[in-house]
Amino acid sequence: MSDLSNYEKKRNLQQSKEPKATKRASSSKFVIQKHDASHLHYDFLIAVDGVYKSWAIPKGPSISTKHKRLAVQVEDHPLSYGNFEGVIPKGEYGAGTVMVWDRGTYRNLKKETSMKQCLKNGRIEIFLNGKILKGGFALVRFREKNWLLIKMKDDYASDSKNLLTSNPKSVKSGKTMSQIQKEKS
């Protein structure tokens, strides 16, 4: 149990410039990689307890609340994977070009439920603060590894914008998929 009452009791925070005893939901990293493997898809990586929980989204994320995007949970990735951009060689697992399409931080909107528990429950609600994606998103499990990614209703939702086509370049390098691909060949 975290409890900041003792912290406050010991200090006069009117007099001292030490941080106030306000609880804040901790923010963690997320990354979305565009991955041109045997089929183009987007990998959604959210940091939970020191690893990236990972989903492959065939159609990519949408900011329309009308869309439910299939997100297939895949193996956990190390946090260092979030910086990876380049070409996975032919014959290797996931062969093809990988771009860092978006990255930033997220907050768990279910404040009373840990991310670990949300994963177990099959219901995640997070607020993304990326360079491209912003606002609330829900991930809802419907069968084993199969989840749905759904934009929650807020000011960042739109039925007319397609952020996938309007953001064709890497947020890491500014390169397009073909520029990343050419560099390695």
Of 35 and 134, which has the nearer Cβ to Mn ion?
35
Q: Which of 35, 53, 77, 134 binds Mn ion (CB under 5 A)?
A: 35
Coil, strand or helix: which one is 45?
A: strand
Residue nearest to Mn ion (CB): 35
- Which candidate, 124, 128, 123, 125, places its Cα nearest to that of 106? 128
Q: Is 102 exposed, middle or buried (0-12, 13-18, 19+ CB in 10 A)?
A: buried
According to the binding rule CB under 5 A, does residue 34 interact with Mn ion? no
Using CB under 5 A as the binding rule, the residues of this chain from 109 to 138 that contact Mn ion are none
d(CA 126, CA 46): 10
Q: How many CB atoms lie within 10 A of CB 165?
A: 8
Query: Minimum CB separation from Mn ion for residue 70, in Å?
Result: 14
Q: Least distance (Å) from Mn ion to the CB of residue 171?
A: 17
Q: Which is nearer to Mn ion, 157 or 180 (CB)?
A: 180
Minimum distance, C-beta of residue 157 to Mn ion, in the bound complex (Å): 26
According to the binding rule CB under 5 A, does residue 103 interact with Mn ion?
no
Q: Is residue 77 involved in binding Mn ion (CB under 5 A)?
A: no
Element (H, E) at 36: strand 28-36
> For 65, left (φ over 0), alpha (ψ -120 to 50), or beta?
alpha
* Tokens standing for residue 146: 């199969």
**Among the residue ranges 33-41, 118-126, 127-135, 143-151, the one whose residues contact Mn ion (CB under 5 A):** 33-41
- State in angstroms the smallest separation of the CB of 109 from Mn ion: 26
The single residue among 43, 85, 102, 125 that binds Mn ion, judged by CB under 5 A, is 43
Binding site residues, Mn ion, CB under 5 A: 35, 43
